[in-house]
Amino acid sequence: MSPSEKYYSQAERAHQQKLSGHGDCANRPWPAQRYQFIINIFNYLDDCLVLSIYCLARLLHCVVPSFLLRHASSSSRAEKRKQTQKIASLDGLRGIACLFVFHAHYAYSFHNWYEGVDIENMKTRFMYQPFVSLLWSGVAMVDIFFFISGYVLVSKSVRLIREQNVSQAFSTISSAVFRRALRLYLPSMAIILISAISAQFGLFNAGNKYFLHVHYDAAGPSEQPPPRLGSLVAQLYDGLKDCYRLTDNTIPWGKFNFAYEEDWNARPSGTVYDKHLWTIPVEFKCSMLIFMILIATARLRATWRLSVHTLFLVNCLFTERFSEFLFIAGMIFSELDAIRQETESIKISDTTMTLLRTNAGTLLKNAINVTLFISGLFLLSMPPLGANEWPQYHAVLEWVPKYIVDKDRFARAIGAIMATWPASTSTLLAPLFTNSVSQYLGQISFALYLVHGPVIKSIWYALQPKFASMITRAQIPDMQTHNFTLLCLLGYMVLLPTVICCADLFWRTIDQRSVTFARWVEDRAKRQR
């Protein structure tokens, strides 16, 4: 082959290769296909962004208190409309009472307000005076809890019994008995385990250090935060032991069947993580008692049924079973209220007489209710120590039988009924407990009762010495009155919103879901017809 032919053949092959290279464009992927991997990455990142925004919104929805959410307020108003005024009033009263229990334990974070002050000094201090002392009287508020629980638990069953629908009443009681333990113990166990985990992660370390540094006899904080153990497993096991002891005290054949509400029995029995839970076994025990009594008397005539209930009531009062007395009193007043509603529904033909009777009756009822309410608050204000030495209460205690040991508890139990019943029946007093603030506190009352103790012992115990050092160099027991008052107000302004927000979060995430879970378990276990 000549050189020229060789050159042209090489050039032709190069040209053919070039053409074949351009020809591959038809087989090459389009840009959308070539960069599909990158597009998939962007789509994935977009999905992650949407998911992150959704999760953040859900997190904010959980963290933001329900009273700041518009739909929550509308749903609460709808729920409020479904309630009768009486139940709404009792719910609001329970919320205010729970707030005052928080006040009591907040006061105990400084020192024991009763054991640390002599009787003569208490008589002259403003905060110990009748009515004023109710703002931080935990023992009085617990009595109100028990009476309200007795009323609310059986109100539907009593109404069905009076309608001669006994079989449906039995079904209602059966459902209430089945769900009662789950309703009370699931949130209580949750707060115990949350406290155990918090202790392991050191949230109570500062509080424990402060408690051990300043606590002496009645001085300093009254309640010690839970200790931190060696490992998370050990801490959870310790918390589960607390849960067991909490429930075991309600079982009649339980090994640790103490009188749980008595300090010298209840406190060493295992309430390490939240001593305020001593009321939960009492609630359960007394709930089962009134359910049993109501089942036993459901088929009796109303007169006989109320007579039997009254015998139980009198027996519990004069044998110093005050918790049982208040629950049974709530059950009796629930039926009395049903009778009153039936009587008011009877129509009178003479409309003029009806109007006169209604106006005169309303004025008389309001006068009686206000008198009973104020008298009940006066009895509830009775101090648990040295009440007989107060001139205001000496004459009242003279009426209490001599053999009664806890004469102040006897009087406060009577006062709880006298104050609670008018609060729920009087149209004059009802606005105090049916307003939006009281109703909101009533909604979160159980959660508020459960969470305020751990919050005080973790957050406030850590902040209290810092706040005190900002105000003065003196120790808290040696502070002047105006400095101590400033410390209390500053702490309250910080702690109250914190406790409310924590209670709201606990109410929505645990308390409400425990109610739903209890109903779900009952529905799944229920016999299908």
Can you give the three-state secondary structure of 302-370, one letter per residue? HHHHHHHHHHHHHHHHHCCCHHHHHHHHHHHHHHHHHHHHHHHCCCCCCHHHHHHHHHHHHHHHHHHHH
Tokens of 236: 């959870």
Q: CA-to-CA distance for 506 and 290, rounded, in angstroms?
A: 29
What's the structural domain count of the chain?
1
pLDDT tens track, the chain, 529 positions: 555 555 455 555 555 555 455 545 545 555 555 556 666 666 666 666 666 665 555 555 555 666 566 544 444 554 444 456 778 899 999 999 999 999 999 988 887 666 556 677 677 777 888 899 899 888 999 999 999 999 999 999 999 999 999 999 999 999 999 999 999 999 999 999 999 999 999 999 988 888 887 766 556 677 889 989 989 999 999 899 888 888 876 765 554 444 444 444 444 344 678 888 889 988 999 999 999 999 999 999 999 999 999 999 999 999 999 999 999 999 999 999 888 887 766 655 455 555 545 666 678 888 889 999 999 999 999 987 777 888 888 888 889 999 988 899 999 999 999 999 998 888 888 889 999 999 999 999 999 999 999 999 999 999 998 998 888 887 777 788 888 889 999 999 999 999 999 999 999 999 999 999 999 999 888 876 5
Whether residue 436 is contained in a domain is answered as yes
In contact, 439 and 91? CB cutoff 8 Å: yes
Residue (of 492, 404, 500, 484) closest to 443 by Cα position: 500
Kindly write down the DSSP assignment for every residue of 54-120, as one continuous string. HHHHHHHHHHS-GGG-HHHHHHHHHHHHHS-HHHHHHHHHHHHHHHHHHHHHHHHTTB-TTTTS-HH
Q: What is the pLDDT of residue 45?
A: 65
Kindly state whether residue 306 falls inside one of the protein's structural domains.
yes
Taking the C-alpha atoms of residue 407 and residue 384, their distance in angstroms, rounded to an integer, is 9
Domain presence at residue 29: no
User: Which of 342, 305, 327, 340 is closest to 154 using CA atoms?
Assistant: 327
Evaluate whether 483 touches 471 at the Cβ level (below 8 Å): yes
- Quick one: pLDDT at residue 57? 56
Does the residue 194 lie in any domain? yes
Domain assignment present for residue 158? The answer is yes
Category of 245 on φ-ψ map: left (φ > 0), alpha (ψ -120 to 50) or beta: alpha
CA 9 to chain centre: 96
Do residues 329 and 150 lie in contact, with contact meaning Cβ atoms separated by under 8 Å? yes
Dihedral pair phi/psi, residue 273, rounded to 5°: -90, -25
Instruction: Tell me the C-alpha distance between 446 and 461, whole Å.
Output: 23
Q: Is residue 13 part of a domain?
A: no
Is 453 in contact with 275 (CB distance < 8 Å)? yes
Amino acid at the residue 264:
W
* 210 inside domain: yes
DSSP reduced 3-state for 472 = coil
Q: Model pTM greater than 0.75? A: yes
Question: Residue 482's Cα: distance from chain center in Å?
Answer: 33
What value does the CA radius of gyration of the chain take, rounded to a whole number of Å? 33
Residue 249 lies in domain: 65-525
Give 171-175 contacts, CB < 8 A, sequence gap 24+: 173/291, 173/294, 173/295, 175/522
Residues 6+ apart with CB under 8 A from 391: none
pLDDT at residue 360 in the model: 63
In a domain, 408, yes or no: yes
Q: First vs last Cα of the chain: how many Å apart?
A: 104
Q: What SS3 class is residue 199?
A: helix
**Predicted pLDDT at 176:** 94
**Helical ranges in 479-511 per DSSP H:** 481-506
Give the side-chain half-sphere CA count within 13 A for 364.
6
Q: Would you state the pLDDT for residue 267?
A: 41
Q: How far apart are CA 499 and CA 467, in angstroms?
A: 18
Q: How far apart are CA 80 and CA 312, in angstroms?
A: 34
Counted residue by residue, the chain has a size of: 529
Contact between residue 411 and residue 382 where contact means Cβ atoms under 8 Å apart: yes
Bridge partner list, 216: 219
Residues 6+ apart with CB under 8 A from 402: none
Evaluate whether 413 touches 322 at the Cβ level (below 8 Å).
yes
Cα gap 42→35, rounded to integer Å = 11
